[in-house]
Structure 1
Amino acid sequence: MLAQTRLLEQLDSLPAAEQHGFVRLRTAMDVTSLIGWLKAQPLFPRIYWHARERDREFAVLGAIRELTDPAQLSALTGQPRPSAGSYPRYYGGLAFDYQQPVNGEWQDFGQCRFVLPRIELIRQGNQTELVCNLLFDGQNTQQELAAARSALTQLQPEKTLQKYLPAQRSRQDMPDKPHWQQWLSQVLHPDALKTIPKVVLSRRSALTFSEPLEPWSLLASWQSATPACFHIGFQFSPESCFIASSPERLYRRQDRALSSEALAGSMPRTGEPEQDAELAELLLQDGKNRLENRFVHTDILTRLDGLADTAVVSEARILPLRHIQHIKREIEATLRPDTSDWQLLKNLHPTPAVGGSPRRKALAQIRALEQHQRGWYAGACGFISEDVSEFTVAIRSGLWHDNQLYLYTGAGILNGSDADAEWQELDTKLNSMLGVWHD
């Protein structure tokens, strides 16, 4: 690998005695698939991020530094520009309910986990660069140089992603449909709706396959099938990998300019343009779906109060995906100079689109009803740097273990919801992920 050799040469030419703080070495690199390159590497963690607009793509390896306490994220804002010329970028995520313990199949991920990677493969527009990061503290110079050399020498050429997907043997839903109907009879009781007008309930579908599944190939299949989504993957160890193809942005911050959105309210798509246009119009006019979206954009605007100088919301429009369409309202804000990413995450996550309203009571109801752990499903996943940060809400997601895949779907329950219709919405969302087996 020519790029690997060039970075090793740059590393050897660094005047060791003069290094301090964050240092970034970079060189151009030709690569066909960033996911294929990531799959080939022996280093962990392995993290992938592809923006919905498709102009920003990152594949990263290793960890120089890890943050596992959400309160530590506040220290990533307000840093001076390093001598490297660009700010360090921390990749990671917050669990959906990050104030609660995370265990079991989510043990690798925790309530919060962000890493400053050793290696980054970055594509922005038509340019792709291989990057090696170093962080010097005045006493670790030789250790950092040795660690960087070790990581670079282990890099492997990209692999071809397999298109074959093993046969599905079984599926088990938690909750099953009778328990789902029981849940909805509770949350739709008039007395319950008075205190919690909206709660988002989720289902975990455990799929078992005839042989081990390859999560990075699956993510690439999802990416091909759903180009208008964020595509992310987090693998902290060989045992498990979390992947998602999410249509929903939590926020993007470029200096003080913030973009967020309310994505709530759903209707299937048929693939027939005229029928889909009719369904889209029905969705925009449907009172239950409009109310569901209003809960979200009103909550976001309220939570930006005190963090932003100005905030405006757009008119409702349709976001069409392959199998489903959503009501979407865009929110643009100008942040106050002292607003940090941790304040944004703490205030905005989880939104009513994945939790409910009011937040505290909805979360308490979710904890009381759901028997499965959401973990990073519906969590906030992305990256933080001083100048640019971006997060997606990790819906349409799955957690992989060997020959098992847990797929997660959710539905907003509020006045006017019907148990059978909401169960069908869960299946529609699940089929949008399972479609790679059948299309």
Structure 2
Amino acid sequence: MENLCAGLIEQIQAHKLSPHSAITHFDMDVPMAVPLLAWLKAQESYPQFYLNYRDEPMTVAAIGKVRAFSDENLAQQFVLTHDCSLVGGLTFDKQAHFWLPRLFVQCQGNRWSVQVYWDNQQDFSSEQQACLQAVKTLQNFTALQPLKQVIRKQSSKASESMWAHWITQALQEIEQGHLSKVVLANQTDFVATQPIDAKDFLAESERQNTGCYHFLYAEQAEQAFVGSSPERLYARQGDEVQTEALAGTATIGDNPAHNQQQADWLLHDSKNDHENRLVVQGICDNLAPYVKHIHVADVEVKPLRQVQHLRRAIHAELSVPMADFVCLQAIHPTAAVSGLPQQSAVQFLQKTENFDRAWYAGTLGVMCQERAEFCVTIRSAMIEQEKISVFAGAGIVAGSDPQLEWQEIERKASSLLSLLTIES
């Protein structure tokens, strides 16, 4: 690896400050067949970021922080000016956290594309050493290990009876016309027999939870937010934007005949179709001022390991170039994770739910000039050494049954919990 990165080291050692550029990036492609998670597991630099894309064979990982942005508009302007890749996203309540990493790696097949970023406005010697140190990390790997932890349930933010009470309140708001839909969520905490390694956990989820984005965001070694989300917020290629409405849920299991019956029921169930159409309506209404046209595809079923969902793909052409700021503000949070009307739904959740969603039902992704892609951070968990907190939500509309909605969030949470052994 050291020989493979020699060119990158030479670029950094030969670098001379330019008065015309605040940021310099050094690029190199490296043949490499090691999983990016095995590389990330060996790293001691933070923050750390990882995204395995849902619809194409590509993963990205990043370590370190050169510049940070707490405003998505400033992040977009930086990308436009400096032609670089930013990682990060928005929490559920739209707090922006974007940063330019020290080292950004994109993996496609057996090839890594590596970018090292140098801040020309900082001390020359310090930046040079930081860049050279980042390159050295490319030779460090730690093998991914099978999960052997046994976990025991500690507590849930909402008991089943409290959950039923929340839904009763939501149904009253819907009946009174204040809401069309609201998405309630729960957090359940577990303790493990030994620390859970977030990279091992995510690697196992990648193997089992196919058809998903797989993401990791860690500000520090003791805490990592991870998940395997079936839902795209949006993907932008030039001025073309692909988004979707993913809402409406049915069971799935080992019996193909049962799964087909559930899929047929889901496609023809008026309540689930109504829930999905509300998400379509929210996305289209919010995007309308910024696009030339919007096309909504026919409904389809997206099968996962534990559940299956209704999905309608949405395509739009932006009327303004490279408008990631617009897309993030207009689409997030969708009615699939908040409700409609959005502001009223969020206010209801703030006064009803008894925990801070933070990154749950937020969005994480990558932004650069030519493209951007963000997933919705559902089917997610916060790992803090021996503790794991798992999040799951369900869309409440007229006709929702509290017991069935409880069963739904239990099934959704099981996509991650089933990766570990639960103490009976």
- Following superposition, the deviation at residue 331 of structure 1 comes to 0.5
Aligned twin of 2:67: 65
Counterparts of 1:74 and 1:34 in 2: how far apart (Å)? 26
Residue identity opposite 1:119 in structure 2: L
Query: Match of 1:10, SS?
Result: helix
Cα deviation, 1:340-360, whole Å, max 9, x if unaligned, reads 211111111100000000001
Counterparts of 2:113 and 2:78 in 1: how far apart (Å)? 24
- Is contact 2:212–2:228 with CA below 8 Å preserved after alignment? yes
Identity among equivalent positions (%) equals 30
From 113, 117, 120, the counterpart of 2:101: 117
1:49-198 equivalences in 2 (<5 Å)? 49-76=51-78, 78-79=80-81, 87-98=83-94, 111-137=95-121, 140-189=123-172, 192-198=175-181
Query: Match of 1:49, SS?
Result: strand
Residue identity opposite 2:57 in structure 1: D
Aligned twin of 2:250: 267
Residue identity opposite 2:48 in structure 1: R
Aligned twin of 1:25: 27
Counterparts of 1:416 and 1:434 in 2: how far apart (Å)? 29
Aligned twin of 2:343: 360
Cα deviation, 1:198-256, whole Å, max 9, x if unaligned, reads 10000001011111111111011111111210011011111210001000000001110
The more displaced of 358-367 and 11-20 is 11-20
Residue identity opposite 2:262 in structure 1: L
Query: Match of 2:418, SS?
Result: helix
1:284-433 equivalences in 2 (<5 Å)? 284-338=267-321, 340-433=323-416
Query: Match of 1:234, SS?
Result: strand
- Is contact 2:239–2:321 with CA below 8 Å preserved after alignment? no
Query: Match of 2:420, SS?
Result: helix
- Is contact 1:209–1:403 with CA below 8 Å preserved after alignment? yes
CA shift in 2, pair 1:18/1:186, >3 Å: closer
Unpaired runs of 5+ in structure 1? 99-110
Counterparts of 2:110 and 2:136 in 1: how far apart (Å)? 26
Counterparts of 1:190 and 1:8 in 2: how far apart (Å)? 61
Query: Match of 2:12, SS?
Result: helix
Counterparts of 2:52 and 2:391 in 1: how far apart (Å)? 20
The more displaced of 358-367 and 68-77 is 68-77
TM-score relative to the length of structure 2: 0.94
Query: Match of 1:114, SS?
Result: strand
- Following superposition, the deviation at residue 69 of structure 1 comes to 3.3
Counterparts of 1:367 and 1:70 in 2: how far apart (Å)? 23
Residue identity opposite 2:219 in structure 1: F
Counterparts of 2:310 and 2:398 in 1: how far apart (Å)? 18
- Following superposition, the deviation at residue 27 of structure 1 comes to 3.2
- Following superposition, the deviation at residue 155 of structure 1 comes to 4.7
Aligned twin of 1:9: 10
Aligned residues: 420
Counterparts of 1:195 and 1:323 in 2: how far apart (Å)? 33
- Is contact 1:243–1:397 with CA below 8 Å preserved after alignment? yes
- What is the RMSD computed on CA atoms of the aligned residues? 2.0
- Following superposition, the deviation at residue 17 of structure 1 comes to 6.1
Cα deviation, 1:364-415, whole Å, max 9, x if unaligned, reads 1000100111000000111111211111000000011111011000000110
Residue identity opposite 1:95 in structure 2: T
CA shift in 2, pair 1:345/1:17, >3 Å: closer
- Is contact 1:29–1:130 with CA below 8 Å preserved after alignment? no
Residue identity opposite 2:198 in structure 1: P
Counterparts of 2:251 and 2:132 in 1: how far apart (Å)? 51
Counterparts of 1:96 and 1:367 in 2: how far apart (Å)? 11
- Following superposition, the deviation at residue 174 of structure 1 comes to 1.1
Query: Match of 1:189, SS?
Result: helix
- Is contact 1:187–1:193 with CA below 8 Å preserved after alignment? no
Unpaired runs of 5+ in structure 2? none
From 22, 39, 49, the counterpart of 1:47: 49
Query: Match of 1:386, SS?
Result: coil
Counterparts of 1:171 and 1:426 in 2: how far apart (Å)? 17
Cα deviation, 1:12-35, whole Å, max 9, x if unaligned, reads 233456883432221314142100
Counterparts of 1:12 and 1:130 in 2: how far apart (Å)? 17
Residue identity opposite 1:169 in structure 2: R
- Following superposition, the deviation at residue 184 of structure 1 comes to 1.2
CA shift in 2, pair 1:400/1:190, >3 Å: closer
Residue identity opposite 2:182 in structure 1: V
Residue identity opposite 1:165 in structure 2: K
Aligned twin of 1:250: 233
Say yes or no: does 1:207 pair with 2:190.
Answer: yes
- Is contact 1:193–1:415 with CA below 8 Å preserved after alignment? no
